[in-house]
Amino acid sequence: MTSVPTPIPSRTQYVLDAIRHRILTGRLTPGQALVETELAAQFGVSKTPVREALKTLAGTGLVVMSQYKGVTVRMVDADMAREVYDVRLLLEPEALRRAVGRGALFDAAREALTRADDATDTAERSLANREFHRALYLPCGNPLLGRMLDEVRDQAALVSAVAWAADPSWEREAAEHREILRLALDGDADGAARVLHAHIASFVARAFPEPGPEEGQR
């Protein structure tokens, strides 16, 4: 028998969405402490929905709960970035290949790409790019595959936010997005998957390059 997920109470969902948005847009930075009483006062709620929201965010990998340090926004380093992007490389191109093969229209991807192009700041662009990738893999026809990619997309967006802060490369990535969508709309499943794989791999390689032989020996 399939279990039905328990709905998240509305106040908890409100706090959850607000904290997630602040993390993914850089208003809350990696390593920053998240204090329940302060957040409750900011959002005008009791500590209970804040505590439940932080537990959910810990489950998605955006925050870390420690007995000694409390709750903090997750730090991003090369190991974390490569771990998250390795999962994307394994699953996302295949999900797109299947979506193209099923004749997906990708209307949501086109809309997200337009929002990214029209964005006036990095935060808005980051959220639009996140939705663009989701719109590519969600019509794959395998709900479990979609949920697995959903589980890492917050962490991937956090990696992107940190990388963009150090080296804004969104124009290059936007051009790659347009090529991926063009191939998908043309029905070229293998081509779209191949370019998506290269897109994901090149981003993490640029943002978190592997150490050279000499660096590795230090």
pLDDT digits (tens, 9 = 90+) for 149-161: 998 988 988 888 7
Q: Domain count of the chain? A: 2
- Mean pLDDT of the region 86-114: 97
* 176 and 108 fall within a common domain: yes
Q: Which two tokens stand for residue 130?
A: 């996140």
pLDDT at 94: 98
Kindly report, residue by residue over 183-195, the tens digit of the pLDDT.
999 999 999 999 9
* 68 and 122 fall within a common domain: no
Where residue 218 falls among pLDDT bands split at 50, 70, 90?
very low
Q: What is the CATH number of the domain that holds 51?
A: 1.10.10.10
pLDDT at 8: 64
Kindly report, residue by residue over 28-59, the tens digit of the pLDDT.
989 999 999 999 999 999 999 999 999 999 99
The region of weakest confidence among 6-10, 116-120, 141-145 is 6-10
| pLDDT of 14 higher than 70 | yes
* 187 and 83 fall within a common domain: yes
pLDDT at 124: 79
* 182 and 133 fall within a common domain: yes
Q: What is the CATH number of the domain that holds 153?
A: 1.20.120.530
* Residue that finishes a domain, picked among 40, 55, 73: 73
* pLDDT above 90: percentage of residues in the chain: 63
* pLDDT above 70: percentage of residues in the chain: 92
* 88 and 185 fall within a common domain: yes
| pLDDT of 5 higher than 90 | no
* 41 and 100 fall within a common domain: no
d(CA 190, CA 202): 18
* 119 and 184 fall within a common domain: yes
pLDDT at 145: 97
* Residue that finishes a domain, picked among 20, 44, 73: 73
In a domain, 191, yes or no: yes
The CA distances from residue 24 to 62, 127, 159, 182, 199, in Å, are 9, 8, 9, 27, 20
* 132 and 151 fall within a common domain: yes
* 144 and 45 fall within a common domain: no
* 91 and 62 fall within a common domain: no
* 43 and 104 fall within a common domain: no
In a domain, 154, yes or no: yes
Sign of the Cα torsion 138, 142, 143, 144 reads: negative
CA 152 to chain centre: 6
- Mean pLDDT of the region 73-102: 95
* Residue that finishes a domain, picked among 35, 52, 73: 73
* 136 and 107 fall within a common domain: yes
Q: Across-strand partners of 66?
A: 70
- 119 is in which domain, residue-wise? 78-207
